[in-house]
Structure 1
């Protein structure tokens, strides 16, 4: 009986020693995770990511490319013209496409543009800011 108790005591001691020390967090699958992940965001990469998102939205979900080209007026004014005027006036394209700003470039086209506000108002603020950044990159 003494031998069994000694064996259990040794096992308990060994178990407690192996579990002492720094506690590591695990995910749902039991894999170790870093409790304080280091997040490093480089400004250039963040700007590139925002411009890429803006381009993707401009050409896809936003359907902007149907009426706006980089340097030439088609149905709507060119992106270069839009960016130049918005920069000169210190205005925000993101606010305009959320119907929080007046048309600054071609007020006659405002009624046509209003049809797209259903799409742009459904976007997140991040998406509208990305569209703004992308369009402003054409100045």
Structure 2
């Protein structure tokens, strides 16, 4: 009886310990999603992560060069000069200030940017402004 109890205890312990491991969150397509480490990141670091990752901003924007959309530095400069909010624009609540002719292209991305939290949008804006320091 002791041997059966010991075996049961050992197997149960292993199962409990194994189930306490790192859980991986997945997106709707079943792909692993990186856990955000916002507690240890500066807003600029979080913004850069979003810009290069789930924000998909790098598809159209670069720091110094116009690709499809204006450069980050140009966007930042215009928004600073006009004392406007990039975050509000990305929520779909602001007018296009930099290149209104590209607005229709950018509107398609609001499906992504509107899912970002206020904290993420502010971090994205902080990152963009940090490139103009």
Provide TM-score, normalisation by structure 1: 0.65
Distance 1:135 1:126 in 2: 14
Tell me which residue corresponds to 2:47: 54
CA offsets per residue over residues 73-96 of structure 1, 9 Å max, x none?
010000010011000000000000
From 79, 89, 92, give the equivalent of 2:85: 92
Runs of at least 5 residues in structure 1 that lack an aligned partner in the other structure: 1-45
Runs of at least 5 residues in structure 2 that lack an aligned partner in the other structure: 1-38
Tell me which residue corresponds to 2:107: 114
Is residue 121 of structure 2 the alignment partner of residue 136 of structure 1?
Answer: no
Deviant stretches of 4+, over 4 Å: none
Distance 1:90 1:137 in 2: 16
Tell me which residue corresponds to 2:62: 69
Give the deviation of 1:113 after TM superposition. Answer: 0.4
CA offsets per residue over residues 26-65 of structure 1, 9 Å max, x none?
xxxxxxxxxxxxxxxxxxxx8x611110000000000001
Give the deviation of 1:72 after TM superposition. Answer: 0.6
Give the deviation of 1:138 after TM superposition. Answer: 1.8
Pair member with larger Rg: 1
- Over aligned residues, Cα RMSD in angstroms? 1.5
Tell me which residue corresponds to 1:79: 72
Number of residue pairs aligned between Structure 1 and Structure 2: 94
Tell me which residue corresponds to 1:20: none
